[in-house]
Amino acid sequence: MNVAIMGHGVVGSGVAEILINHNGLISEKIHDEINVKSILDLRDFPSLSYADKFTKNFEDILNDDSIKVVAEVMGGVNPAYDFVKKCLLSGKSVVTSNKELVAVKGAELIKIAKENNVNFLFEASVGGGIPVLRPMTQCLSANQIKEFWGILNGTTNFILNKMIVDNMSFADALKLAQDNGYAEKDPTADIEGHDACRKVCILATLAFGKHVYPEQVKTAGISNISLDDVYAADNLGCVIKLIGHAKLLENGKISAEVRPTVVTRSNMLSHVDGVFNAILIDGDQTGEVMFYGKGAGKEATASAVVADIIDCAKHINSRKYLDWADGYEGYVVNTSENEEKMFVRITGDDFSAITDIFNKQFASLTENITKNEFSKEICFITKPIVLSILKEKLAEFKNCEVKILHTIF
């Protein structure tokens, strides 16, 4: 069984190493020998023991009929989309870890794979090494998925954790995440929530059946989360996590979003630290099921890519079905009119004025309060309230810094 790898970065080199170092183990599983025939990359790697396998020309892979499975681990939509499409059209199965490609072009690529009787698999695109897409679509297939929540980005979870546990600055923590191979080439995609948004799109599409596009998912990252926010949440027995969430609504539409969220310590997601990710899925028959493991990094992600290669090799003449219909405008609705508990921090110079307004506006609306005269701050969690009503009430705090974060409990 000849396979090719497109891209020899963090994940691609991991895929090559597993396929070569675990060759015996993998060959036993598929009752055939897996052979890495070509690796596409524009760079040279003369010191590698498999340096002779590299090509700079995509056509070498496309035109090689002996290559049956291709792993796309280049990242980004272009030229990955063009290359993947051509491989599928020429009868090669493709596996990918490329979240952006799947989130943006998934419906089309699955359709092309189906028409050409080949497979397009992407387990590594969500949760790195965590098996989640296959369990959700196969093991939970007797369920109507009602809702899911996830810590879906290893880099931001690692940064938030380093800031609070090791007192590390945001910049140092990001540098360490990059050195460990967790971050995207442009870490803005991690920090601003776009990477987690793509994963929400993939999960929501597979959970609810219709393509959710990144521009439909309201997304906020962690760039405006300060250590003060982290400490204030800590005082209320909570942690701040970047959470992706989607929910099936009664009218058949869904809500979906990514945002920094205050999570109480009694929630399992609050204990997911460092590069680890977790996805909590609520099925109507199973109730909540949680998937946990390393969400980023070379070996973990490559493990999921290689598992897809093995699956393709085992099913070379048959198809693995994934239900992925086109989406439509208006399918994902805005949830800002839902009643939710909110985490509020109010900081200002005149602490007694803040306290007076607070007592008038919020005393009956809060569950948890911390007042800190020293830092001139009141911090609390509201009872469920609609965001626009909360903002109206907060309008009285003139000349104060007011910060609102959503919560999950």
Residue 183 in the binding site for ligand HSE (CB under 6 A): yes
Q: Which of residues 293-322 bind ligand HSE (CB under 6 A)?
A: 295-296
Q: For helices 99-115 and 80-89, what crossing angle results, to 10°?
A: 20
Residue 128 in the binding site for ligand HSE (CB under 6 A): yes
Determine which residue in the list 7, 14, 150, 154 makes contact with ligand HSE, applying CB under 6 A: 154
Q: Which residue is it, tokens 């609070």?
A: 164
For β-strands 35-40 and 54-55, DSSP reports them as: parallel
Q: Which stretch binds ligand HSE (CB under 6 A): 38-46, 177-185, 374-382, 393-401?
A: 177-185
Find out whether 157 and 163 touch, Cβ atoms under 8 Å: no
Cβ closer to ligand HSE: 290 or 404?
290
Residue 195 in the binding site for ligand HSE (CB under 6 A): yes
Cβ closer to ligand HSE: 283 or 293?
293
Cβ closer to ligand HSE: 221 or 295?
295
Find out whether 212 and 257 touch, Cβ atoms under 8 Å: no
**Backbone φ and ψ of 35, nearest 5°:** -125, 120
Cβ closer to ligand HSE: 106 or 295?
295
Closest distance of CB 189 from ligand HSE, Å: 7
Task: To the nearest 10°, report the CA torsion of 109, 111, 113, 117.
Answer: 180
In this structure, the number of other CB atoms found within 10 A of the CB of residue 154 comes to: 28
Closest distance of CB 154 from ligand HSE, Å: 4
What tokens appear for 36 in the block? 């890495």
Give percent helix, percent strand, percent coil of the chain, each to the nearest 5.
40, 25, 35
Closest distance of CB 74 from ligand HSE, Å: 14
Residue 184 in the binding site for ligand HSE (CB under 6 A): yes
For β-strands 276-283 and 2-6, DSSP reports them as: unpaired
| Cβ burial, residue 28 (10 Å; 0-12/13-18/19+) | exposed
Closest distance of CB 184 from ligand HSE, Å: 5
Residue 190 in the binding site for ligand HSE (CB under 6 A): yes
Cβ closer to ligand HSE: 119 or 277?
277
Residue 67, strand partner residues: 2
Catalytic residue among 199, 210, 241, 294: 199
199 part of the active site: yes
Residue 227, strand partner residues: none
Residue 200 in the binding site for ligand HSE (CB under 6 A): no
Binding site for ligand HSE (CB under 6 A): 99, 128, 153-155, 182-184, 190, 195, 295-296
Residues with catalytic function: 199
